[in-house]
Amino acid sequence: MERFAERTGVTSVEPQRRYLWTDAFAVGNFIALDRVDLALRLVDRVHHVLGRHRDDDPRRGWISGLSETEGEAHPTAGGLRIGKDLPERAPDEPFSEQLEWERDGQYFHYLTKWILALDRVGAATGDARYRTWARELAEVARARFVRDGRMVWKMSIDLSRPQVATMGHHDPLEGYVTALELGVPASDYRAMIDPRALATADPLGIGGLLVDAHRLGDRDPALRRAMLEAARTGLAMYTPERTIPASRRLGFRELGLVIGLCAEPLDAALRNELLDFWSDPVSRAARTWREHQDINDVMLATALVKTENPAVAGLSVRGATQI
């Protein structure tokens, strides 16, 4: 985590390399490792990079449109950029599914990760600003991503138009669990969840289901049962890539499953197998690991912390947060 902080500009003069998903996990790791100073520094970097327009964008300032002073006071009021390499698709630019994966914008499920990261910083420091920012982010995400009883998967940087109008598989679930933990209205998210359609064979998706089931706890027992059953179905469909070399595997997706299996240990043997594989320096020497080193390193650190001491790493907003 210290190497991640140095090479991405958190603790060095290296150019800022901010990506919201990775940074949300990193904030949780720093708190779990008793490095609140680095968590606070990273939060500040994220807000001043991903809360503002890109350097290659003719627009300047906070993406919320607030003044410099107001933007400093409310850095999440306009959401936060993903941090993708390419600029967002312009309104008159044709849609390309392949390119869209590399284009900037805002993802709902990334915003929920940052909401929980901020809430955890607030719990660790006692500083009410962080929980205020978490709730302001939850409010703008709800207002802009929920449309006519459905959700938009990807929005433009300024949240003025959808970039991908289809609904993310687990986005309503993320919104529901996060809203319950924050104590804000959750019924519209709940109405969009089809408990029969939650299963996925994607390891990162299965891991997310397990983490969200743990976060949900006993607040909605019927939904929690459906989530765990969907995770079991996904695990039955998922085939570990044991015969495939590390150079053709994506570590962060498999580590997402490891993190989920730390929250809900449905298959401890698989959890340990995947964690051992990616803990091996030989596996981490693969091209695919190095190409995604920031997110891979951070999620490996999360998995290791949770495996060693799940209570310290945390799996819910109050007291400790799964991010």
pLDDT of residue 323: 28
Q: Are residues 208 and 143 located together in one domain of the fold?
A: no
What would the pLDDT profile of 79-116 be if each residue is shown by its tens digit?
999 999 999 999 999 999 999 999 999 999 999 999 99
Q: Are residues 164 and 40 located together in one domain of the fold?
A: yes
* Cα→Cα distances 120→4, 108, 194, 308, 317, Å: 20, 19, 29, 20, 6
pLDDT of residue 186: 96
Length of the chain, in residues:
323
To which residue do tokens 């698989």 refer?
270
Q: Does 321 score more than 70 pLDDT?
A: no
What would the pLDDT profile of 206-215 be if each residue is shown by its tens digit?
999 999 999 9
Q: Does 6 score more than 50 pLDDT?
A: yes
**Could you say which of 193, 215, 240 is where a domain stops?**
193
Q: Helix %, strand %, coil % for the chain, to 5?
A: 60, 5, 35
- Domain interval for residue 297: 194-323
Q: Are residues 106 and 209 located together in one domain of the fold?
A: no
What would the pLDDT profile of 117-129 be if each residue is shown by its tens digit?
999 999 999 999 9
pLDDT of residue 239: 87
- Answer for the pair 177, 216: CB distance below 8 angstroms, yes or no: yes
Q: What angle do CA 32, 112, 7 make, to 5 degrees?
A: 55
pLDDT of residue 320: 30
Which two structure tokens, joined as six digits, stand for 44? 């500040």
Distance, in Å, from the CA atom of 214 to the CA atom of 212, rounded to the nearest integer, reads: 5
Which two structure tokens, joined as six digits, stand for 64? 């919320």
Q: Are residues 35 and 138 located together in one domain of the fold?
A: yes
Number of domains in the chain: 2
pTM of the predicted model, to two decimals? 0.94
Q: Does 54 score more than 90 pLDDT?
A: yes
Which residues contact residue 27 at a Cβ distance below 8 angstroms, ignoring those fewer than 6 apart? 39, 42, 43, 117, 120, 121, 323
**Could you say which of 163, 193, 223 is where a domain stops?**
193
Percent of the chain exceeding pLDDT 70 equals 95
